[in-house]
A and B are shown apart, each in its own frame.
Chain A
Amino acid sequence: DAKTTQPTSMDCAEGRAANLPCNHSTISGNEYVYWYRQIHSQGPQYIIHGLKNNETNEMASLIITEDRKSSTLILPHATLRDTAVYYCIVRDLNTNAGKSTFGDGTTLTVKP
């Protein structure tokens, strides 16, 4: 699976959009981009995933660049409860399950 690079930390004002970037420049054509988040001390929670088209669900939007080398997770109206560590990972369609790597993620702090 491709390696991802994320900023260590970001701040966002409550009510504003939070845009979390992820670089995955070595991504292959078979790899999906997945986003999870981990609220303090809890188990990670799935947010969204995509292959090459932009995706939206009730939690967030995922924007993947045309060359698929980077993506952005968008929380449209961040709340204090969105303060968490956000992980971007890539997973192969035919992946070996043993290659699941979460990395260190981005710590998002939503401020009042």
Chain B
Amino acid sequence: NAGVTQTPKFRVLKTGQSMTLLCAQDMNHEYMYWYRQDPGMGLRLIHYSVGEGTTAKGEVPDGYNVSRLKKQNFLLGLESAAPSQTSVYFCASSYETGGIQDTQYFGPGTRLTVL
């Protein structure tokens, strides 16, 4: 059971380039989340998904797009990277939202630098 995995672990982009971050979970969780964490700060929710084929905006969605074509995968896209998107990106999943099954399991993170 690998839990939540993220690809890649590190990436350096130039301003204006695009890329996709991949999150995969093998726990059959319905809910998946993308967060960003800037130095010395807590996590902020970018986008989330409540099930296959669904996505929704979180707290800081601008500049990002997501897709959930398969239940186990949640992709985060940057169409035109900006230096302000330099951050560590964490993916998480949970069985459900609210109540006792709301425990989120996090991936190891992707460290993205935009020059």
CB distance from B65 to the nearest CB of A (A): 16
Q: How large is the interface on A (under 10, 10 to 19, 20 to 34, 35 or more residues)?
A: 20 to 34
Binary contact track B93-105/A, C-beta < 8 Å → 1, others 0: 0000111101111
The residues of A that contact B102 with a CB separation of less than 8 Å are 32, 34, 49, 91, 95
Can you give 14 contacting A-B residue pairs, CB < 8 Å?
A32-B99, A41-B88, A42-B109, A44-B92, A44-B104, A87-B42, A91-B99, A95-B97, A95-B98, A95-B102, A97-B31, A98-B45, A98-B48, A103-B42
The residues of A that contact B31 with a CB separation of less than 8 Å are 97
Q: How large is the interface on B (under 10, 10 to 19, 20 to 34, 35 or more residues)?
A: 20 to 34
Q: Which residues of B contact A (CB under 8 A)?
A: 4, 31, 33, 35, 40-45, 48, 50, 56-59, 88, 90, 92, 97-100, 102-109
